[in-house]
Amino acid sequence: MKFYSENISPDSLSGAIFSIEGIRDACVVLNGPTGCKFYHSAISDSQFHHSLGFDAGVYSEGFYLGQSRVPSTYLDSQDYIFGAGEKLERILRDAGRRGCKLIAVINSPGAALIGDDLEGILRREVRGVPCFALENSGFSGTFGAGYQRALMKVIDALSLSPRKRGLHEDLRTDGRQMNSSKFMTDGHRMNGGNKVNLLGFCIYQKHYDGSIRALKNLLERCGIEVVSTPGALDSLEAVARLPEADLNVAVYPEYARELGEKLEAELGIPLLCLREGPPLGFDAAAAFVREICAALDRESAAALEAIARARGRAYYYLARFSSLLGLPKGALFSIRAEASTAYALTRWLCGYLGMIPAAISVLPGADGPSLKKLEDFLEGIHYREVLDQPVLERETHLLFADGNTIAALKLAGKTFCGIEIALPSLGYLDITGKALLGETGALFLLEQIMNGLRYVLT
């Protein structure tokens, strides 16, 4: 069966909306037609339940249209001629009554052509809370670009000031962004620092909350406090505490590098880009701990011991599984994900489990350094040709992707196991907490891999 298109990737408008929706007590007002509202509101509510039921009467106001999130101006033909100022004023007054701590008005691409004075309307209608307008989220730009653009507007609206920290002066003398290799080779240490921000998380990620908990638990074992994870359901108060951190860690560089560079330039917080990418798998989780502890001059032994215990538990099941079936070694896998995620996951599946890549499709807006690492790794194992192969057109045993991509391959009648690592979801209700990152995430993925292979190959 020939596939002519893969699942459409979310663009910069979605990134901008979900970044603000990821601030627990903020409100996004979408200046756009109803077609731009429903999906974003539904995803926001599913990732963070704002109401207990689906009673549309609870949000019967015209601009909510029965949904609890993302009120919209529901632009029609008249609005494109005369403007949507009156609708915006009504929505902003309602948001003020609901106790929102931050209000953002975001234009849809079409609304950007109208020319409404959004900042003027905000000045007239909003009092006592930070607010801003995003006239242009990037039009057809990438999700990561829109996500970071909106969060940078939040930073500007909060007027954050750098914390005085003499221990950072020697770290910024060369004026360049730092990475873990610089800390190790130049001998720079941040003596006494014990606070970090984790950048790159978003409510549009699968199991983002569980992954954050897993990484916080590891860092707490090292005496390191996570100050903020902006865009992943922190309150506005927590986001405002960003300057307290001694280090920013780009967990997902596609959603963090530009934001981290702004925070470094304006607040003096060094940016650490992880060598092994997101901590997917035991080795990457250990590297995550070591790099941060090396940067802050903290002891990593307790966290590494927790990872080692999880690795030991995994070995028990893997040894029995492999002795019976010879798997997962030699099984085929495909990935559709961001470059950083694809790199970390490919290294783990090939190196730790001995699996073979069939196709790897990188999402738009790839992080350049992560993509280069992925290319180099695949070249080193002589599988460079699988990069950018359509995952829907290659035979595989396991597909790591979003739910829509998995469903498309299922509809083609293929026999494989789909493992959701991104949204949109197939609709499975995750009642117990799950993670993709850290040692708990590694165990969860192994559980899915081994059960999936039993289904496919036995």
Residue 118 CA to residue 344 CA, distance in Å, equals 42
Residue 3 lies in a domain: no
Is pLDDT of 302 > 80? Answer: yes
Confidence of residue 176 (pLDDT cuts 50, 70, 90): very low
Would the pLDDT of 391 be above 70?
A: yes
- pLDDT for res 362: 96
CA atoms of 400 and 197, how far apart (whole Å): 28
* Nearest residue to 444 via CA among 415, 419, 418, 417: 419
| Residues 6 or more apart whose Cβ sits within 8 Å of residue 358 | 332, 333, 334, 386, 389, 391, 394, 395, 396
Q: In the predicted model, what is the mean pLDDT of the chain?
A: 89
Name residues whose C-beta falls within 8 Å of residue 234's C-beta, 6 or more positions apart in sequence.
Answer: 22, 23, 24, 228
The answer to the question of residue 4 being in a domain is no
Q: pLDDT-based confidence at 447, cuts 50/70/90?
A: very high
Q: Are residues 325 and 411 in the same domain?
A: yes
Residue 173 pLDDT: 31
**Mean pLDDT of all residues in 250-254:** 98
329 domain residue, yes or no: yes
Please give the Cα distance from 90 to 93 (Å, whole number): 5
Q: Which of 421, 371, 412, 375 is nearest to 393 (CA)?
A: 412
How many domains is the chain built from? 3
Chosen domain end from 128, 158, 188: 158
Which DSSP letter does residue 432 get? S
Is residue 166, in this structure, part of any structural domain at all?
A: no
3-class SS shares of the chain: helix, strand, coil, % to 5: 50, 15, 40
CA dihedral 322, 287, 281, 346 (to 10 degrees): -90
| 136 CB burial (10 A radius; 0-12, 13-18, 19+) | middle
How many residues belong to the chain?
458
Choosing from 303, 326, 353, the residue where a domain stops is 303
**Residues 46 and 133 occupy one common structural domain:** yes
273 lies in the same domain as 339: no
CA distances from 60 to 54, 55, 71 (A): 12, 9, 11
* Dihedral, CA of residue 153, residue 256, residue 286 and residue 329, to nearest 10: 140
What distance in Å separates the CA atoms of residue 177 and residue 273, rounded to the nearest whole number? 9
Predicted pLDDT of residue 99: 86
Q: Which of 123, 158, 193 is the last residue of a domain?
A: 158
The SS3 call for residue 273 is strand
pLDDT of residue 94: 86
pLDDT at position 170, please?
39
Residue 34: per-residue pLDDT? 86
Domain containing residue 150: CATH number: 3.40.50.1980
Residue 60: band (very low, low, confident or very high) from pLDDT cuts 50, 70, 90: low
| Whether residues 297 and 347 fall in one domain | no
For residue 273, the cross-strand partners are: 179, 250
Are 18 and 144 part of one and the same domain?
yes
Structural domain of residue 427, as residue ranges?
Answer: 313-457
Same domain, 151 and 185: no
pLDDT of residue 5: 57
Cα 370 to Cα 138, 151, 289, 365, 366: the distances in Å are 23, 22, 19, 11, 8
Considering the domain architecture, whether residues 120 and 19 belong to the same structural domain is answered as yes
Cβ atoms of 341 and 252 closer than 8 Å: yes
* Structural contact between residues 86 and 31, judged by C-beta atoms closer than 8 angstroms: no
Does residue 165 lie within any of the structural domains?
Answer: no
Residues 56 and 97 in one domain: yes
Q: Coil, strand, or helix at residue 234?
A: strand
DSSP classification of residue 9: P
Residue 70, domain member (yes or no):
yes
In a domain, 87, yes or no: yes
- The HSE-up count of residue 267 (CA atoms within 13 Å, CB side) is 27
Nearest one of 137, 109, 136, 104 to 122, comparing CA atoms: 104
Virtual torsion, Cα 91, 150, 16, 55, nearest 10 deg: -40
Mean pLDDT, residues 298-320 taken together: 97
| Residue written as token pair 């180099």 | 376
Instruction: Quote the pTM value.
Output: 0.91
* Mean per-residue pLDDT, 399-417: 94
On whether both 261 and 351 belong to a single domain, the answer is no
Residues 322 and 299 in one domain: no
**54 falls in which pLDDT band (50, 70, 90)?**
low
Answer whether 9's CB lies under 8 Å from 32's CB.
no
Interatomic CA distance for residues 349 and 28, integer angstroms: 39
Residue 258 and residue 326 in one domain? no
Tell me if 367 is assigned to some domain. Answer: yes
| The pLDDT of residue 56 | 61
Encode pLDDT of 121-156 as tens digits: 999 999 999 999 999 888 779 999 999 999 999 999
pLDDT in tens, 218-235: 999 999 999 999 999 999
Same domain, 394 and 434: yes
Provide CB contacts within 8 A for 213, sequence distance 6+.
433, 435
